[in-house]
Structure 1
Amino acid sequence: MLACVAPVSDAPPHATRPRRPAPSGSRSGTPARRPPATTPAATRARQAPLTAVRKEQVALAEREDIALAEIELCGELITAASTEPGERLSLARIDEVLRGGT
């Protein structure tokens, strides 16, 4: 029976990776951070996804408002139907309920 075993090393795994040369002006092996771009095009590029997300949120809120209004109207129709003596509401009574009359 053969067993596959990785060679054992006393060095930690990160010590075996080659280090990148330090860029000029940097004291460690990590690259220096660049300051964020402040040009108008760069600013618009950073804000564009947020604007798209905000538009989506507004559209969702508008759809929610419409759905809630429709639910309220359905509730009013159900209430009107439960108080009506006949089996069905007349078209005139439906119009009256939907227009806000009671």
Structure 2
Amino acid sequence: MFRLSVDLATQELLPPASEVGGPNGRQRRDLGLRLQWLFDNGKLPEELHDLAHCIKEDGNDGAHRGTLSEADAEDMLDFTVHLLERRYTLPKRILDAAARRAERSR
């Protein structure tokens, strides 16, 4: 489920397929290649880069081999939580704070 969450959350970060310089078809389909493209192009925070390998490697192991350890699952949880917080939670918190400030200044 972590891998699916990351897959869905990162697809919307891609530019339209018609855009020049965007990812190729394989990078769009393959999560590991897509993550690398997103990091290389500044679409994901660099602080998450080292932890991102767990989604590709551990996600594949868990889905296909069933050899996922507790530590591997914790790495995947950490990456997924941090990614989703950066993508959705933090921007909303910033908007809410700006709205509160605007309301107070009236």
Using the size of structure 2 for normalisation, the TM-score is 0.26
- TM-score normalised over the length of structure 1: 0.27
Higher helix share: 2
Q: Which has the higher contact order (CA 8 A, sep 6+)?
A: 2
Find the structure with the greater CA-based Rg.
1
